[in-house]
C-alpha cells in the first residue's frame, strides 16, 4: 500500500518555497524577486537548480522572467480572468460599467479590511502613491498608473492573497480604458480636484482605522467614476 518516499529535487523545493511566499501574501503581484545571486546565497544552492525552479514557476504562471533576468510575481488570476475578460470588455463602455460594479463590491470590502489590518508600512506606501497621483495632476498628466497602484495597494492592505491577485488583474484590464475616460474627464479641471479629494478621503479613513468611513469613501469615489463613464457613454 505504501510506497517509498522520494526526496524532492532542489528545483521543486525552490518552486514550492516561492509559491508558499505568494500564497501567504509575502510576495504580491508586481513584486520583484531578489537577484539570482541573492537567491542562491539565501537558499544555499547553485544557479542551475534555482533557474530550473524559476522555469517551473514561469511555466505555471506564477512569475514572469523579464529582460536582464528581472523576475516579477504575476497575478495568479491573470490568464484565467484577464484574457477572456479583455475580449468582453475591450472598447465596450457598458461592460466597463459592469466591471466597475464588481469593483464596488470588492473594493468596499477591501477598504474596510485595510482600515483594520494594514501595516504601518502599507499605509506609508498608500501615502507615497497618493502623493505621486497629486504630482501627476499638478503636472497635467492623467495619473492612470498612480491611480491603479493606489487602488491595488488598498487590495493588498486587506491581507487577502486571492483578492490581491484579482485586483491586480482587474486594474491591468482597465488601464487602457482609464486613459480614454481621463482624457475626457480632465477637460474640466474641477474633476482632478474631485478625484484627489476622493483618494485623500480613502487614505485618511484607512489611516484613522475607520472601516465604515473607508467603505463609504471608496463607494463615493467609484460612484463618481461610474457617473462619468455613463456621461461619456451618453455623449457617444
Question: Using 50, 70 and 90 to split pLDDT, how confident is the model at 3?
Answer: very low
Q: What does the pLDDT look like over 210-236, one tens digit per residue?
A: 999 999 999 999 999 888 888 877 765
- Classified by CATH at the fold level, domain 10-73 comes out as Arc Repressor Mutant, subunit A (1.10.10)
List Cβ neighbours of 143 (8 Å cut-off, separation of 6 or more). Answer: 133, 136, 137, 182, 195
Whether the pLDDT of residue 1 is over 70: the answer is: no
Whether the pLDDT of residue 6 is over 60: the answer is: no
Q: What does the pLDDT look like over 49-90, one tens digit per residue?
A: 899 999 988 888 888 888 877 898 887 766 556 566 666 566
Percent helix / strand / coil, the chain, rounded to 5: 75, 5, 20
Predicted local confidence at residue 224, as pLDDT: 93
Handedness of CA 232, 233, 235, 236 (dihedral sign): positive
Predicted local confidence at residue 182, as pLDDT: 81
Which residue has better confidence, 137 or 24?
A: 137
Q: Report the SS3 class of residue 46.
A: coil
Predicted local confidence at residue 7, as pLDDT: 62
Predicted local confidence at residue 5, as pLDDT: 39
Question: Using 50, 70 and 90 to split pLDDT, how confident is the model at 137?
Answer: very high
Domain boundaries, the chain: 10-73, 78-235
Q: What does the pLDDT look like over 141-171, one tens digit per residue?
A: 888 889 988 999 999 999 998 898 888 887 7
DSSP state, 187?
T
> Would you state the cell numbers that stand for residue 174, as one nine-digit string?
482597465
> Would you state the cell numbers that stand for residue 227, as one nine-digit string?
457617473
Handedness of CA 59, 61, 62, 68 (dihedral sign): positive
Q: What does the pLDDT look like over 10-45, one tens digit per residue?
A: 888 888 889 888 888 888 888 899 998 899 888 888
Q: What does the pLDDT look like over 103-135, one tens digit per residue?
A: 999 999 999 999 999 999 999 999 999 999 999
Measured in whole angstroms, the distance separating CA 170 from the mean position of its chain's CA atoms is 8
**Looking at domain 78-235, what is its CATH homologous superfamily?**
GntR ligand-binding domain-like (1.20.120.530)
Q: What does the pLDDT look like over 172-208, one tens digit per residue?
A: 776 666 776 787 788 788 889 999 999 999 999 999 9
Amino acid at each position: 500500500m505504501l510506497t517509498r518516499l522520494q526526496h524532492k529535487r532542489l528545483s521543486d523545493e525552490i518552486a514550492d518555497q516561492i509559491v508558499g511566499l505568494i500564497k501567504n501574501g509575502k510576495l504580491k503581484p508586481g513584486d520583484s524577486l531578489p537577484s539570482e545571486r541573492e537567491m542562491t546565497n539565501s537558499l544555499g544552492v547553485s544557479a542551475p537548480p534555482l533557474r530550473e525552479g524559476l522555469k517551473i514557476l514561469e511555466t505555471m504562471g506564477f512569475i514572469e522572467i523579464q529582460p536582464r533576468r528581472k523576475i516579477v510575481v504575476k497575478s495568479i488570476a491573470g490568464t484565467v480572468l484577464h484574457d477572456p475578460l479583455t475580449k468582453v470588455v475591450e472598447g465596450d463602455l457598458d461592460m466597463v460599467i459592469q466591471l466597475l460594479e464588481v469593483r464596488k463590491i470588492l473594493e468596499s470590502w477591501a477598504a474596510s479590511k485595510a482600515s483594520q489590518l494594514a501595516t504601518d508600512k502599507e499605509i506609508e506606501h498608500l501615502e507615497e502613491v497618493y502623493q505621486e497621483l497629486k504630482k501627476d495632476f499638478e503636472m497635467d498628466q492623467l495619473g492612470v498608473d498612480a491611480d491603479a497602484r493606489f487602488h491595488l495597494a488598498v487590495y493588498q492592505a486587506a491581507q487577502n492573497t486571492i483578492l490581491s491577485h484579482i485586483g491586480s488583474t482587474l486594474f491591468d484590464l482597465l488601464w487602457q480604458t482609464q486613459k480614454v475616460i481621463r482624457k475626457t474627464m480632465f477637460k474640466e479641471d474641477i474633476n482632478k480636484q474631485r478625484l484627489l479629494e476622493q483618494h485623500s478621503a480613502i487614505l485618511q479613513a484607512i489611516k484613522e482605522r475607520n472601516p465604515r468611513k473607508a467603505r463609504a469613501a471608496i463607494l463615493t469615489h467609484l460612484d463618481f467614476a461610474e457617473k462619468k463613464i455613463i456621461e461619456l457613454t451618453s455623449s457617444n
